[in-house]
Amino acid sequence: MKIYLYDSTFNGLLSAIHVAFYSKEPELEIIREDDYLQTTIQEILYIPTNQEKSDKVAQAIKEKISLTAFNNIYYAYLSEYIDAGTKILAYLRLGFKKGSEIDCYSFLDEVKSIHGYRSKVLLEKHRMLGFVRFQKYPDYFLSIIEPDHNILHLIMPHFVARLPKEKFIILDKKRQLAGFYNGDHWKLMPLTINTDSQAEDRYTLLWQDYFTTIAIKERLNTKLQKKFMPARYWKYLTEYKTKS
């Protein structure tokens, strides 16, 4: 089994797919270089990112399969599952055979896994629109998140539309990546912050009170609560911070 490594960018992945299509390799894996753990038995090939190849692949997918298929593999890529690259390759191989009907084949594993990854990413994106919590600092708002998937840039436009007059930063601590909005436009930049501690103010406390007050004890159902709001997200939720 041969392994292709790429530089973790979407263009890098598409470049690797380009190479894969032209190689005669029947079985190969495509993995982000960060995810790769050295073992001796595998043969590795590092694929450099090549804009031209990447563009060609993107265009071919949109024209010969569909725009939906292109979006699907993009979301699957953002899932960052270790086997996402390999699964995307399999989906595309089938896609070039079946054309625009590819997404009807949800009973085939190649399609089912990509749909599954896409749903997970979109679900988390939607959840994060609600679970982001901003802390107020003198002249900006800050939010820290640690999403499972790489969704920061997907949620930024929502918050820009919501708070057009404020300056804010949303930091994806896991990926050391921050979305900055300066009141006019937004961009992504690498950023490392070590602390988890966040500013507290009167409204933080009011919110905690509100949160406790409105639960109806006769209907207590924490299983259900956790189903909708899995415990891994609680770390940055203001309502779960203990009062100081």
Partner 1 sequence: MDIEMKLKILAAAAKYDVSCSSSGSNRTNSHDGIGNASTAGICHSFTTDGRCISLLKILLSNICIYDCSYCLNRRSNDIPRAFFTPEEIADISISFYKRNYIEGLFLSSAIVKNSNYTMELLLQTVKLLRNQYDFNGYIHLKGIPGSDEKLIEEAAGLVDRISFNIELPSEKSLKLLAPDKDSNSILTPMSFLDEQSTIKKAERKTSKNKGFFIPGGQSTQMIIGASQDTDYQIINLSEKLYENLHLKRVYYSAYVPVNIDRNLPVIFKPPLIRENRLYQADWLLRFYGFKAKELLNENTPNFDLNFDPKTNWALNNLDYFPIEINQASLKALLRIPGLGLRSAYRIIEARKVHRLEFEDLKKIGIVLKRAIYFLTCNGKYFSEIKLEEKSIRRKLNPGIDLNDFDNPKEEQLTIFQEKCLPTEEFLPGLTGEL
Q: Where along the sequence are the contacts to partner 1 (CB under 8 A)?
A: 98, 101, 103-108, 112, 126-127, 129-136, 141, 143, 158-159, 161-166, 203-207, 209-211, 213-225, 227-229, 237-239
**Whole-number minimum distance, CB 81 to partner 1, in Å?**
18
Q: Which residues of 175-211 are buried (b: 16+ CB within 10 A; e: fewer)?
A: bebbbbbeeeebeeeeeeeeeeebeeeeebeeebeee
**DSSP label at 141?**
E
| Choice between 44 and 237, CB closer to partner 1 | 237
> Which lies closer to partner 1 via its Cβ, residue 41 or residue 214?
214
Which residue bears the tokens 């392994």? 3
| Nearest distance in Å: CB 198, partner 1 | 11
The runs of H, that is alpha helices, within 132-199 are: 152-162
Closer residue to partner 1 (CB): 1 or 220 = 220
If the CB atoms of residues 123 and 189 are measured against partner 1, the closer one turns out to be: 123
User: How many whole angstroms separate alpha carbon 47 and alpha carbon 6?
Assistant: 5
Residues in CB range of 182: below 8 A, 6 or more apart: 167
Q: Which is nearer to partner 1, 58 or 170 (CB)?
A: 170
Shortest distance (Å) from residue 127 CB to partner 1: 8
Q: In whole angstroms, how close is the CB of 75 to partner 1 at the nearest point?
A: 17
CB of 137 to partner 1, least distance (A): 12
Residues near 223 by Cβ (< 8 Å), separated by ≥ 6? none
